[in-house]
Amino acid sequence: MCTETREIVAPKVKDILNKYAKDKGMLVAILQDIQTEFNYLPRPALEAVSQGLGVPMSQVYSVATFFKAFSLKPKGKHSVHVCMGTACHVRGASKILDKLVEKLGCCAGENTEDMKFSLDAVNCVGACALGPVVVVDGQYVGNMTTEKVKPLIEGCQ
């Protein structure tokens, strides 16, 4: 990350650390706020947290990699999660994922080139009765079909 970006990250992280009074016990909440701000956890932000809280970088990194909700890679503006759990799988989730890959032009675990979308295949979203399920920006879309993919994606602005 270039120096300019470090200069942008540092004041925002400082504000977040101050919001939590630099309380080491609030590390997860601090990382959540940083991820909300940047849409991922940039390394300079993790370094600033380590320094600001006076904890080893290894501890910050350990927490950041333990929770699946955190990402160390930049994410697209819109997150698309396709449930691949058993109930969704037997109802055609793989065909829906294939259609999303075709429509977005990226594979599961990747972002679109324009960084508008991140596509992920996930184990289960806990909405088996609605399967197959796609979660877009936290909104559950149940009884998903391949025909609903195009309008779903086009509805994201």
Given this model, what pLDDT does residue 151 score?
96
Given this model, what pLDDT does residue 58 score?
97
Low-confidence residues in the chain, pLDDT < 70: 1-4
Do residues 119 and 100 make contact, with C-beta atoms less than 8 angstroms apart? Answer: yes
CATH number at residue 126: 3.40.30.10
- Which residues form the domain of 38? 3-66
Domain count, the chain: 2
Given this model, what pLDDT does residue 15 score?
95
Given this model, what pLDDT does residue 3 score?
47
Given this model, what pLDDT does residue 1 score?
45
Same domain, yes or no: 120 and 55: no
- Whole-angstrom Cα distance, residue 84 to residue 94? 7
Given this model, what pLDDT does residue 102 score?
97
Given this model, what pLDDT does residue 122 score?
92
- Whole-angstrom Cα distance, residue 122 to residue 134? 10
2 is known to lie in a ligand binding site? no
Q: Is residue 56 part of a domain?
A: yes
156 is known to lie in a ligand binding site? no
Q: Is residue 73 part of a domain?
A: no
At residue 22, what is the residue type?
A: K
pTM of the model: 0.75
Given this model, what pLDDT does residue 98 score?
97
88 is known to lie in a ligand binding site? yes
